[in-house]
Amino acid sequence: MFLNEIIIAGFGGQGILSAGRLLAYAGMLEDKEVSFLPSYGPEMRGGTANCMVVISEQAIASPVLNSCSALIVMNNPSLEKFENWVKPGGVIITDSSMVHTKTKRTDIKVFEIPATQLANEFGNKTYSNIYLLGKLINETGCVKPENFEKALYGILSKKRHYMIPEEMEVLKVGMNY
Amino acid sequence: MGQKLLMKGNEVIAEAAIRAGCRHYFGYPITPQTELMHYMAKKLPKIGGVFMQAESEVAAINMVYGAASTGKRVMTSSSSPGISLKQEGISYISGAQLPAVIVNIMRGGPGLGGIQPSQSDYFQATKGGGHGDYHMVVLAPASVQELYDMTVEAFNIADRYRIMTMILGDGVLGQMMEVVNFRDEEKNETFNKSWAANGHENKREHNMITSIHLDPAVLEQWNIGFQNKYKLISENEQRYELYNCEDAEIILVAYGSVARICKGVIKEAAEQGIKLGLIRPITLFPFPVKGFEKVMDIPKAFLTVEMSAGQMVEDVRLTVNGRKPVYFTGRMGGMIPTVNNIMTKVMEIKENNK
């Protein structure tokens, strides 16, 4: 059964919530059931931020997760907080420019991508989340890359649409990293 | 089928209100419902409506009182501490028999509490947080689509019975995004509002909107009228969802986002060979007694799950009235019950009812 329960976590400002919204939007375009639950309040303004995304073929029981099939982490505290939430056989993807500790889990797949460094080298540090989403999409098949592109067009304001070809380039780098 | 959109709960309530014909909104910002206000602030002035950020919650609810007196569809929204401030106005509006819609996106209390989701305002919402023998109709949606459908419905119920209707949500529902379908054109019922104080141009007797009746005999009659109205509403408007209740060993009782978590519990329990069901009250006032009667003979016990110290469980006990054991589990202060929390209680109940 197709069920992706995804947690994305890091600092406010790293594009955590945008990443989650993009996945949910792309899932909607595939006629899947989707939910997106952000952390809110002071956390959004520089503290830790996280969101929970469910993409499923069946009606979603709860948007509130207590475990997940895939985890993207963009800082150390988030790895500590969520690493034990990942179900055996699941996936952890870390931004290794920001996360310097290693997970103790051995029953899951771990991918370390220096996303912040890659984004800085590319020339736009706001793309770091896209590298990680690329890996997620490649590993889980939660949404198709072409629908992710449509989601970018759907969510970004028109004045930012010029960035989308670059972002898709970055996504592909992440997918194949 | 209309547009299919991925939207945040709070914004969907605002859009639904606009589509239901609400052109008057008065409020004061508070997390976790502020996006509702933002949406109204952006949209209402463009479509000839009135958006006003009042100087306080007390002012906002009294602006609602004024607008409702003219027969216009009007809304206010807040979160728990702000709703406490509005209680005086709610009692007056209820006393004056005016239709209006109020939204409470609950957060943890008491006092200023926190900003994380909670259901600890159930008593306040259903038993009358203000003074006097009044009730609001209280609707408890559990998904973004239901936030839409029930907001539209809230306006119809309010007008149908000349009563305040509350949408009781929580931080999870307000903040989450799900896919919502808007109908192309909202079928808004039209209502006779010959009672409204909207200018008579000397063509009719003037209408009086008031909640003061100093003669106790008159006030009693007025109250009897209220109680008859609540009885009628209870007959006509009870809403609930029965989920997986056929031959359930234990039936869970939960509303709003906790009901969603309970559906996850039911799935998990089924994998362990335990059959659980769920009664999800959709109207909290009137409490859906009819739903309970349909399944009363089925389970060994009922388990109420809330994000509170146990408030709705009192109505469950009154309804079950000793016929089956009623248990409770919950979390407080903004903590959300986990599948494990609920499963632990389920196992304990199974042990007690062998």
CATH of the domain at B117: 3.40.50.970
CATH number of the domain residue B298 falls in: 3.40.50.920
Q: How large is the greatest C-alpha to C-alpha distance in chain B, in angstroms?
A: 74
For residues B256 and B302, membership in a common domain is answered with: yes
Task: Give the chain A residue whose CA is nearest to the CA of B115.
Answer: A41
Query: Using the beta-carbon criterion (under 8 Å), do A38 and B175 form an inter-chain contact?
Result: yes
Contacts of B172 in chain A (CB under 8 A): 37, 63-64
Q: What pLDDT, on the 0 to 100 scale, is given for residue B88?
A: 98
Task: Give the chain B residue whose CA is nearest to the CA of A25.
Answer: B6
For residues B32 and B65, membership in a common domain is answered with: yes
Q: Is B252 helix (H, G, I), strand (E, B) or coil?
A: strand
Query: Using the beta-carbon criterion (under 8 Å), do A61 and B263 form an inter-chain contact?
Result: yes
Cα(B3)–Cα(B312) distance, integer angstroms: 36
Query: Using the beta-carbon criterion (under 8 Å), do B6 and A63 form an inter-chain contact?
Result: no
CATH number of the domain residue A39 falls in: 3.40.920.10
Percent of chain A with pLDDT over 90: 92
Task: Give the chain A residue whose CA is nearest to the CA of B335.
Answer: A64
Q: What is the pLDDT of residues B42-86, one digit of tens each?
A: 999 999 999 999 999 999 999 999 999 999 999 999 999 999 999
Q: What pLDDT, on the 0 to 100 scale, is given for residue A41?
A: 66
Q: What are B236's two structure tokens? A: 């006509």
For residues B102 and B201, membership in a common domain is answered with: yes
For residues B328 and B251, membership in a common domain is answered with: yes
Determine the structural domain holding residue B80 and report its residue range: 4-237
pLDDT-derived band at B4 (thresholds 50, 70, 90) equals confident
Please report, as a single letter, which amino acid is at residue A34.
V
Q: Is A172 helix (H, G, I), strand (E, B) or coil?
A: helix
Q: What pLDDT, on the 0 to 100 scale, is given for residue A33?
A: 96
pLDDT-derived band at B185 (thresholds 50, 70, 90) equals low
Cα(A40)–Cα(A50) distance, integer angstroms: 9
Q: What is the pLDDT of residues A98-120, one digit of tens each?
A: 999 999 999 999 999 999 999 99
Burial zone of B290 (CB within 10 Å; 0-12 exposed, 13-18 middle, 19+ buried): middle
For residues B265 and B222, membership in a common domain is answered with: no
Mean predicted confidence (pLDDT) in B231-240: 98
Q: What's the structural domain count of chain B?
A: 2
Q: Does B1 score more than 60 pLDDT? A: no
Contacts of A66 in chain B (CB under 8 A): 338-340
For residues B60 and B198, membership in a common domain is answered with: yes
Q: Is A4 helix (H, G, I), strand (E, B) or coil?
A: strand
Q: What pLDDT, on the 0 to 100 scale, is given for residue A42?
A: 65
For residues B122 and B149, membership in a common domain is answered with: yes
**Sign of the dihedral defined by the CA atoms of residues B277, B282, B284, B285, in that order:** negative
Determine the structural domain holding residue A162 and report its residue range: 3-176
For residues B127 and B251, membership in a common domain is answered with: no
Instruction: Give chain B's mean pLDDT.
Output: 96
* Final residue in a domain of this structure, among B183, B212, B237: B237
Min Cα distance A85 → chain B (Å) is 12
Mean predicted confidence (pLDDT) in A14-30: 96
Extended beta strands in B54-197, E state: 74-78, 100-106, 137-139, 164-170, 177-181
Q: What's the structural domain count of chain A?
A: 1
Mean predicted confidence (pLDDT) in B116-130: 96
Least confident of A19-23, B183-187, B260-264, B314-318: B183-187
For residues B157 and B281, membership in a common domain is answered with: no
Candidate from B4, B6, B264 with C-beta closest to A61: B264
Mean predicted confidence (pLDDT) in A136-165: 97
For residues B215 and B283, membership in a common domain is answered with: no
Query: Using the beta-carbon criterion (under 8 Å), do A40 and B115 form an inter-chain contact?
Result: yes
Please report, as a single letter, which amino acid is at residue A32.
K
Q: Is B140 helix (H, G, I), strand (E, B) or coil?
A: coil
Mean predicted confidence (pLDDT) in B25-36: 96
Contacts of A28 in chain B (CB under 8 A): 4, 6, 179
Mean predicted confidence (pLDDT) in B119-144: 97
For residues B208 and B297, membership in a common domain is answered with: no
Question: What is the interface size between A and B, counted as CB pairs within 8 Å?
Answer: 63
Q: What pLDDT, on the 0 to 100 scale, is given for residue B188?
A: 75
* Final residue in a domain of this structure, among B221, B237, B253: B237
Q: What pLDDT, on the 0 to 100 scale, is given for residue B183?
A: 76
For residues B229 and B326, membership in a common domain is answered with: no
Q: What pLDDT, on the 0 to 100 scale, is given for residue B184?
A: 61
* Final residue in a domain of this structure, among B205, B237, B269: B237
Q: Tell me the sheet residues that pair with B177.
A: A36, B8
Candidate from A24, A36, A63 with C-beta closest to B260: A63
Percent of chain B with pLDDT over 90: 94
Min Cα distance A106 → chain B (Å) is 24
Interface test with B, best of A3, A37, A44 (most B CBs within 10 A): A37
Q: What is the pLDDT of residues B63-75, one digit of tens each?
A: 999 999 999 999 9
Task: Give the chain B residue whose CA is nearest to the CA of A54.
Answer: B178
Burial zone of A100 (CB within 10 Å; 0-12 exposed, 13-18 middle, 19+ buried): exposed
